[in-house]
Amino acid sequence: NEGALWGGRFAGGPSPELQALSRSTHFDWQLALYDIRGSHAHAAALEAAGYLTADEAARMHAGLDALAEGVRSGRLRPRDADEDVHGALETALLEEVGAELGGRLRAGRSRNDQIATLIRLFLIDHAGVIARELVQLIDALVAQADAHPSAILPGRTHLQHAQPVLLAHHLQAHGWPLVRDLERLRDWRGRAGVSPYGGGALAGSTLGLDPALVARELGLDRPAENSMDGTAARDVVAEFAYIAAQIGIDLSRMAEEIILWNTREFGFVTLDDGYSTGSSIMPQKKNPDIAELARGKSGRLIGNLSGLLATLKALPLAYNRDLQEDKEPVFDSVATLEVLLPAFTGMVATLRFDTERMASLAPQGFSLATDVAEWLVTQRVPFRDAHEISGALVRACEERGIGLEDATDELLAEVSEHLTPAVREVLSIEGSVASRAGVGGTAPERVAEQRAELVARTQAV
C-alpha cells in the first residue's frame, strides 16, 4: 500500500474494488490549496509546541509552498493510488522534503478534523463570490427600475390582472429576496468561522497543540468547542446548500415571469440577442434559455440539499465515511450558482421593456375596482357595502362590454347613489398608483424610498 496514510496493521493492500469505491481525488482535489493552508497552520502549531525546530518548520513551509506551486501550475496531480487529497499531498510532501521531516507533519491531526475544516474554508471563499454576484444582480434590477421610473405593469395575483403597479416596484420586489439571501450568507458566515482543526479523529490530541493558533492562521474566528461535534457535524454544509437552493428558487420565480413576459401573448419584454438562443429547426425562434436553465437548475440545487440532508440523517457520532458524500452536492451547488448568476444578471440588465404595451394592458380586467371600493370608503360607505357596489359596477360594465372608466354618469347612478361622477378621480391608472401611498406601496415616492432602503441593505452586507 505504497504511499497510503495507513497500512501498518494490514497484512495485505486494499483490493482494486475498494480503491475504486473509496477514491475521492476526482472531486476533493478542489480542496488541495486549502489542505496546504491547513498544513502551514498545523506546522506553525507543531513548532510552537516544540515538535518542530525553527529550521524544520522553515523547511516544512518551503516544501508546502512548492506543493502549492505545483497544484496551481497543474504539475502536481493526484495519482491513481491516492485515496484522497490528504494522502496525495502527503506523498508529494515526503518527496519534496524527505520522509524524516515530511513524516512529522501528521502528528496531532486526522483527516477527520482536516476535512471538516477545509470544507468550511472552501465554502467561505465561495460564499464571497456568490455574494458579489448577487449584488450585481440586485444592481441590475435597480438599474432597470431606475430606467423606467413611471412605467406601469399590470400587477397580478393568481396570475390574473389584480391592480396596476409601477414596474420599478415589481422589479425591486425581486431584489428583496436576494437581499435576504445576502443576509443569510452573512449570518451563515458567523457559524462557519469555527475551526475543527486539532480535534483529531474525534477525541482531541495528547500533544498539547494550540487550536486557537491554527484557527487564527486560517482566518477563522475560533476553534470548535467540542472535538466530536467539530469532526462530525455538517449542518454548516447543509445550511450553505439550503441558501444556495433558496437563491435558485428566488431566481426561478423571476425566470418564470421573464419566460411569460417574453411570449407573444404578453409581449412585455424582448431579450437581447447575446442572452437568448435560437432553434436548430425553426429559423424565427428566439428562446429564453437562460431563464429556463435557471428554472431547471433550481431543481438541481434543491436536489443537492435534500441529498445532503438524507446523508446526514441518523448518522451516529462521530466521523463516518458517509460524510465524504457531503462534498459533491455542495461543490455542485457552488459551481451551478457561479455559472448561473452572471448569465442571469446579463439577461436582466439587457431586457428591453415594451412599456406602452404594459400600460395599455394595465386597466384591463377591471383592475381599478379596488380603487372604486376604497374611494367609497372615503365617502363613508362601509367597506362591505363598498365592495358590493364596486362589484356590481364591474358586472354592469362587463355586460355592456366597457371598462370602468367608460361608465356614464347614468350608469354609475343606476348602480348606486354613492357612485357620483367624482369617483372618476380614481379611475386612472396613474391616479390609482399614486394613491397607494402607504408604507411599502406602489406610489412613486414610496417606491423611491424602497429603492434607497434596498440599496442600503445591499451595501450593508
Closer residue to ligand ARG in complex, CB, 231/262: 231
Closer residue to ligand ARG in complex, CB, 28/181: 28
Residues, the chain: 461
Q: Minimum CB separation from ligand ARG for residue 349, in Å?
A: 39
Question: Per CB under 6 A, which region of 109-117, 148-156, 185-193, 233-241 contacts ligand ARG?
Answer: 109-117
| Close Cβ partners of 156 (under 8 Å, ≥ 6 residues apart) | 162
19 part of the interface to ligand ARG, by CB under 6 A: no
CB atoms closer than 10 angstroms to residue 311: 18
Exactly one of 112, 304, 345, 442 binds ligand ARG (CB under 6 A); that residue is 112
227 part of the interface to ligand ARG, by CB under 6 A: no
All three cell numbers of 171? 422589479
Owner of C-alpha cell 450553505: 240
Q: Minimum CB separation from ligand ARG for residue 322, in Å?
A: 9
Q: Minimum CB separation from ligand ARG for residue 201, in Å?
A: 7
111 part of the interface to ligand ARG, by CB under 6 A: yes
Q: Minimum CB separation from ligand ARG for residue 310, in Å?
A: 16
Exactly one of 32, 89, 115, 351 binds ligand ARG (CB under 6 A); that residue is 115
Question: Per CB under 6 A, which region of 66-74, 315-323, 381-389, 391-399 contacts ligand ARG?
Answer: 315-323
189 part of the interface to ligand ARG, by CB under 6 A: no
Exactly one of 9, 26, 321, 384 binds ligand ARG (CB under 6 A); that residue is 321
59 part of the interface to ligand ARG, by CB under 6 A: no
Closer residue to ligand ARG in complex, CB, 24/311: 24
Closer residue to ligand ARG in complex, CB, 32/173: 32
Exactly one of 93, 152, 178, 323 binds ligand ARG (CB under 6 A); that residue is 323
By C-alpha distance, which of 131, 139, 178 is closest to 348? Answer: 139
Q: Minimum CB separation from ligand ARG for residue 112, in Å?
A: 5
Question: Per CB under 6 A, which region of 111-119, 295-303, 380-388, 420-428 contacts ligand ARG?
Answer: 111-119
Q: Minimum CB separation from ligand ARG for residue 88, in Å?
A: 11
Decide if 199 contacts 180 (C-beta within 8 A): no
Closer residue to ligand ARG in complex, CB, 92/340: 92
The Cα–Cα gap between 176 and 159 comes to 20
Closer residue to ligand ARG in complex, CB, 87/211: 87
Question: Per CB under 6 A, which region of 89-97, 323-331, 424-432, 452-460 contacts ligand ARG?
Answer: 323-331
Closer residue to ligand ARG in complex, CB, 48/202: 202
Identity at 20, one-letter amino acid code = A
Q: Minimum CB separation from ligand ARG for residue 91, in Å?
A: 15
Question: Per CB under 6 A, which region of 13-21, 65-73, 107-115, 139-147 contacts ligand ARG?
Answer: 107-115
- Terminal CA-CA length for the chain: 49
The Cα–Cα gap between 285 and 279 comes to 6
Closer residue to ligand ARG in complex, CB, 234/446: 234
By C-alpha distance, which of 374, 380, 411, 376 is closest to 394? Answer: 411
324 part of the interface to ligand ARG, by CB under 6 A: yes
Binding mask 63-102 for ligand ARG (x = CB under 6 A): ---------------------x------------------
24 part of the interface to ligand ARG, by CB under 6 A: yes
Q: Minimum CB separation from ligand ARG for residue 125, in Å?
A: 18
The residues assigned a catalytic role are 158, 279
Q: Given the rule CB under 6 A, which residues bind ligand ARG? A: 24, 28, 84, 111-112, 115, 319, 321, 323-324, 327
